């Protein structure tokens, strides 16, 4: 009989329940470290041996207190693995591994999956196409960038997730106004060429430095567009083996290998320049994609990214082989928006293709799946119109005050 292993999972947001459940079902001891604000969330208590709560949320966590807490746990428990379930927890997990000498991604590699400047510099060095960019360290270099690359540009935080804190900059005067407002925090941002085009995401599973699974999808409306203008978030899986699908998967493979992701899940984003057709790398992360994209991936492929990631982690600590389940070949799409109502009535969205309804307060969201790609596109268009006309709300974009 296999000996149970001990996992410490870190998530300062409510996510990864399938990961926790799968670890427990595989016979492991599971500890969760989360924020005090997440105490009342519906964590799967039957799958968690004990929950530890940190004061504040995310950037408020005291890492020295965190490492002391886990070190105290290790007096009575041999911790076999530490797993970051959210983008913002990567630094916390790498810090713990380095200090407690636990196997897994360290701080240097972790930076490539959190720091957008580090990502761009490494990608460029190995020949991967990236938008032209500039750090904000040096005034002369910034001016040279703006004189060389025509506006508009994108000003973005180096270590935030999704579209948090991103601004579209229209001219040099506007750029310097924003940069000066950043004050001492300006080094935590970068300035980047704005490239009009379609944005894609590739969701992957990696085992023993090999990409075992990847699925490419296209944002119909991007997280950046939603954060800037509101609307309905939409994404659909791509036609399999199309030219763009094959190109993106190849670049994705090159990125994950070059960046040093040995095991786990990854969510990587690209943009296809509408003027040239070239595909540029935007960013990557060592986690499962948010905004219920994991459920969309599962609808299209039958692969639950959270469960399979847990199974990979289980196989690693038990020195056994991991085998990916067979992959299905459906197409899927998601529509998701804020709602005026806490629990909007979506009963009229009754097509047989509906396979998932987003269970969040003040949200309205559905996932559809079908063997027919055109059917998915038609349903996504129809649902977007119906949600926009009666349910969708626009949330205020909050200013970033605490940076990672």
Residue 340 has pLDDT above 90, yes or no: no
Sheet-wide strand order for 153-157: 133-135, 189-193, 153-157, 167-169
Mean predicted confidence (pLDDT) in 298-312? 98
Q: Report the range of poorest mean pLDDT among 53-62, 165-174, 181-190, 330-339.
A: 53-62
Last residue of a domain, one of 111, 143, 177: 111
Listed residue (199, 270, 219) closest to 384, CA to CA: 219
CA-to-CA distance for 288 and 90, rounded, in angstroms?
Answer: 12
CA-to-CA distance for 194 and 40, rounded, in angstroms?
Answer: 41
What is the domain extent for residue 188? 132-193
Residue 84 lies in a domain: yes
Last residue of a domain, one of 175, 193, 211: 193
Mean predicted confidence (pLDDT) in 87-108? 95
Shared domain check, 151 and 99: no
Mean predicted confidence (pLDDT) in 317-333? 97
Residue 350 lies in a domain: yes
Shared domain check, 332 and 213: yes
Shared domain check, 330 and 203: yes
Percent of the chain with pLDDT over 90: 86
Mean predicted confidence (pLDDT) in 367-381? 97
| pLDDT, position 57 | 78
- Helix/strand/coil for 199: strand
Residue 399 lies in a domain: no
Sequence-distant (≥ 6) Cβ neighbours of residue 278 within 8 angstroms? 129, 272
Shared domain check, 273 and 231: yes
Listed residue (266, 335, 269, 331) closest to 302, CA to CA: 331
- Residue 231's pLDDT band (boundaries 50, 70, 90)? confident
CA-to-CA distance for 123 and 229, rounded, in angstroms?
Answer: 30
Give the model confidence (pLDDT) of 12-41 as tens digits.
999 999 999 999 999 999 999 999 999 999
- Residue 382's pLDDT band (boundaries 50, 70, 90)? very high
pLDDT mean across residues, the chain: 93
Shared domain check, 238 and 332: yes
Shared domain check, 361 and 251: yes
Percent of the chain with pLDDT over 70: 94
| pLDDT, position 161 | 66
- Residue 390's pLDDT band (boundaries 50, 70, 90)? confident
| Angle, alpha carbons 293-298-299 (nearest 5°) | 95
Residue 398 lies in a domain: no
Last residue of a domain, one of 78, 111, 144: 111
DSSP output for 339-351: ESSSS---TT---
Strands (E), 110-232: 133-135, 153-157, 167-169, 189-193, 197-207, 210-221
Q: How many CA atoms lie within 13 A of 162 on its CB side?
A: 19
Residue 180 lies in a domain: yes
For the chain, helix, strand, coil in percent to 5 are: 35, 25, 35
**Strand 6-10 versus strand 29-35 pairing type:** parallel
| pLDDT, position 394 | 67
Tell me the CATH number at 339.
Answer: 3.30.470.20
Q: Are 361 and 197 in contact (CB under 8 A)?
A: no
Cis, peptide link before residue 362, omega less than 30° from 0: no
| pLDDT, position 36 | 94
CA-to-CA distance for 224 and 268, rounded, in angstroms?
Answer: 15
Tell me the CATH number at 146.
Answer: 3.30.1490.20
Shared domain check, 373 and 286: yes
Q: How many CA atoms lie within 13 A of 53 on its CB side?
A: 11
Query: Counting beta carbons within 10 angstroms of the beta carbon of residue 389, is it exposed (0 to 12), middle (13 to 18) or buried (19 or more)?
Result: exposed
Sequence-distant (≥ 6) Cβ neighbours of residue 346 within 8 angstroms? 357, 364, 366
| pLDDT, position 138 | 98
Handedness of CA 61, 93, 91, 100 (dihedral sign): positive
| pLDDT, position 393 | 72
- Report which of residues 162 and 321 the model is more confident about: 321
| pLDDT, position 370 | 98
Tokens 């190109």 — which residue?
A: 247
Mean predicted confidence (pLDDT) in 92-109? 96
Give the model confidence (pLDDT) of 196-230 as tens digits.
999 999 999 999 999 999 999 999 987 767 666 66
Residue 162 has pLDDT above 90, yes or no: no
Residue 181 lies in a domain: yes
- For the chain, report the end-to-end CA distance as a whole number of angstroms: 43
Shared domain check, 188 and 300: no
CA-to-CA distance for 176 and 286, rounded, in angstroms?
Answer: 33
Residue 204 lies in a domain: yes
pTM: 0.93
Shared domain check, 358 and 292: yes
Residue 398 has pLDDT above 60, yes or no: no
| pLDDT, position 118 | 97
| pLDDT, position 391 | 84
Q: Looking at beta carbons, which pairs linking 25-30 to residues 24 or more positions away fall under 8 Å?
A: 26/310, 26/311, 26/314, 27/2, 28/4, 28/314, 29/4, 29/5, 29/77, 30/6
Residue 404 lies in a domain: no
Residue 304 has pLDDT above 90, yes or no: yes
Shared domain check, 314 and 345: yes
Shared domain check, 70 and 162: no
| pLDDT, position 3 | 81
Q: Report the range of poorest mean pLDDT among 20-24, 139-143, 335-339.
A: 335-339
Shared domain check, 11 and 89: yes
- Residue 402's pLDDT band (boundaries 50, 70, 90)? low
Mean predicted confidence (pLDDT) in 299-314? 98
| pLDDT, position 59 | 79
The total of structural domains in the chain comes to 3
């Amino acid at each position: 009989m296999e000996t149970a292993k001990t996992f410490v999972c870190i998530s300062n947001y409510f996510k990864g329940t399938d990961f926790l459940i799968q670890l427990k079902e595989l016979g492991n001891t599971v500890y969760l470290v989360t924020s005090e604000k997440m105490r009342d969330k519906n964590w799967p208590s039957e799958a968690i041996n004990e929950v530890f709560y940190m004061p504040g949320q995310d950037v408020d966590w005291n890492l020295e207190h965190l490492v002391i807490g886990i070190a105290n746990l290790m007096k009575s428990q041999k911790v076999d693995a530490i797993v970051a379930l959210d983008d913002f927890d990567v630094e916390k997990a790498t810090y713990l591994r380095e200090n407690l000498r636990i196997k897994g991604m360290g701080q240097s590699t972790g930076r490539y999956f959190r720091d957008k400047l580090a990502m761009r510099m490494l990608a460029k060095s190995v020949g991967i196409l990236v938008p032209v960019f500039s750090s904000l360290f040096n005034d002369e270099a910034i001016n040279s960038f703006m004189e060389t690359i025509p506006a508009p540009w994108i000003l973005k935080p180096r270590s935030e997730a999704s579209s948090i804190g991103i601004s579209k900059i229209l001219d040099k005067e506007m750029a310097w106004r924003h940069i000066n407002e950043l004050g001492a925090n300006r080094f935590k941002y970068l300035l980047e060429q704005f490239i009009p085009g379609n944005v894609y995401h590739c969701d992957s599973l990696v085992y023993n430095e090999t990409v075992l699974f990847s699925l490419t999808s296209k944002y119909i409306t991007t997280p950046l567009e939603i954060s800037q203008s509101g609307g309905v978030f939409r994404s659909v899986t791509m036609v399999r083996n199309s030219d763009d699908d094959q190109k993106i998967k190849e670049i994705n493979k090159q990125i994950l290998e070059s960046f040093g992701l040995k095991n786990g899940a990854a969510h990587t984003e690209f943009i296809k320049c509408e003027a040239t057709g070239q595909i540029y790398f935007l960013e990557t992360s060592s986690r499962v994609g948010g905004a219920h994209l994991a459920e969309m991936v599962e609808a299209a492929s039958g692969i639950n990214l959270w469960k399979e990631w847990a199974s990979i982690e289980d196989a690693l600590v038990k020195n056994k082989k991991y085998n990916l389940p067979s992959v299905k070949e459906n197409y899927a799409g998601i529509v998701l928006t804020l709602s005026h109502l806490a629990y909007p009535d979506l009963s009229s969205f009754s097509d047989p293709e509906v396979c998932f309804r987003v269970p969040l307060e003040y949200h309205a969201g559905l996932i559809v799946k079908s063997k027919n790609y055109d059917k998915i596109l038609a349903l996504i268009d129809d649902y977007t119109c119906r949600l926009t006309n009666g349910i969708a709300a626009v949330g205020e974009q909050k200013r970033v005050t605490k940076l990672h």
